[in-house]
Structure 1
Amino acid sequence: MQDEEAWNNIKGWTEAAGVAASMRNNRLGVLGHYYNGMLDVYSDLTLQSVVFGTHFELLEMCELKKYRDEASEEDVQKKIEEFNNTFDVSEECEAKEIKRAAQTSVALDKLVASRDLGSMACYYEGESGNEYENIVTSVIAGNTLLTGKNIPIAGECEVKNAQAMKIMAEFGAGGSFSEFYLMDFKDDALYLGHDGPAHYAIAEGRVNLVPLPVYHGKPGKGLSIQMTVKHGPVTLLSVVVGKDGIFLLVAEGKSLEGPLLQIGNTNSRYKFSIGAKRFMNEWSKQGPSHHCAIGVGHIADKIEKLGHILKIDVVKVC
């Protein structure tokens, strides 16, 4: 009864069982379409549902637009207050851009509530100057608020990573949308990040809301999130589809202090026990998409227990 290791093991199993139940009861919204040509993010929704039990809600942009058009001035002002309370809003952010993002955030909240969503994958472009483009270029702040409330929103319609983010969120580890940026061979470190949405609850210090005159690899301009994952132990997770079906790819590392790219993105420096070059080789050999979810703490053992419950393999790189 006094064996701490035994109780930690029991706790890990109960947490994993709880996460499996949450995934089984989760409603994942899919809004828009894939990023054109980004073949590695394409997903078999039926297979995802078979393995995790996920219910998929296929959503329409016109529904989101309806909620945005219906947003009251009072609701928009409350959302602006939430921005100011949650983020360090840069003085360079134009008032009209803040209001535009707030109105879209109100609509996103309504969409999530009306469809009872626990997560979402989304991407859209729209013709230049039309209303849908106006919406999709103003979603990052609202998506980040939802993600920080453990309703993860995956960009570029990456359903597999929405699943990984939800797993991390249900374990209480966060789960921030990330991809590989660069390798620092001198310091043996890797940089990962993305152009939002981020999980602000696992940030090192305050999260910055900043303007981007041009979005990276996407049309339009608007507000974006700049943050770093909390310094200390982290876990990376990817939901991968291999030749024998879905498996979980996991690695434990450390978020480090140090110089970062100031590009209006979520980016952090990471180190891994096997070194940056070997990590990149071993991770990439498993065939994941270029996205992953990053959470705080070392929870690979809990993820391995989740894999056992789901009857799928778990590959641990380090």
Structure 2
Amino acid sequence: MNSSDDQLKVGLFGIGLEAYWEQFAGLRDRLVGFTDQVSGKLESSRVKVVNLGLVDTPEKSFAAGHEFRKADVDLIFLHVTTYALSSTVLPAVRRARVPVIILNLSPAPAIDYERFNRLGDRTKMTGEWLAFCQACPVPEIANVFNRCRIPFFQVTGTLDDDPVAWAEISDWVEAARVAHAMEHNRLGVMGHYYGGMLDIYSDLTQQCSCFGGHIEILEVEELAALRRDVSEADANRKVTEFRAAFDVQPDCSEQEL
């Protein structure tokens, strides 16, 4: 089924506290840069990232929730950039009603403590710590999401040089792509079940309820009539599409396809 917009759309936002920015020079720009870095890694010709930047007040969180819903995102990545109150996080995801992936990604494997100890200024040291405290608010956010029955998952790792974490993130993108495809799928059903084999009977209403899409019930005569209208060029185009989308066994002939 053709969708008006078949490109997968994922939401992304970072979090923080507005009160921090006047206290810790450069912290906000640094955190925005972290989220932009995540956005760049997610963006591709097959994925559109709706990046709402840093959400640091309840007002911005409510606005983000409306934006995500308006953009019709399939998945939201919550990038935990620093500590933030859960009250500034919940409205952004609650309204969208899509799964949330919490990105607990540190900018580096550890703080450079030699450099940190040379800062010689408690305010600067606190600002540096805040740039590395991604794990701090994750339990609070998880607690709230559980109590609000918001489906979420967590990826822990680093922004760079972490193939395991980024492979997991890619897997979530691909899972969302499958769900998106199923939501806009057009499925043909023909024939009947073998009598008595109750374990294989399907509930087409449940199929539509769980996965979306549309189911067209066909009779053999209808399919035969449709086949007569297919030109050789149409068939060749579809075979080319099959070979691009699937791993076709070498012993599968063009005629069988």
TM-score, structure 1 normalization: 0.26
**Structure holding more helix per residue:** 2
State which structure, 1 or 2, has the greater radius of gyration over its C-alpha atoms. 2
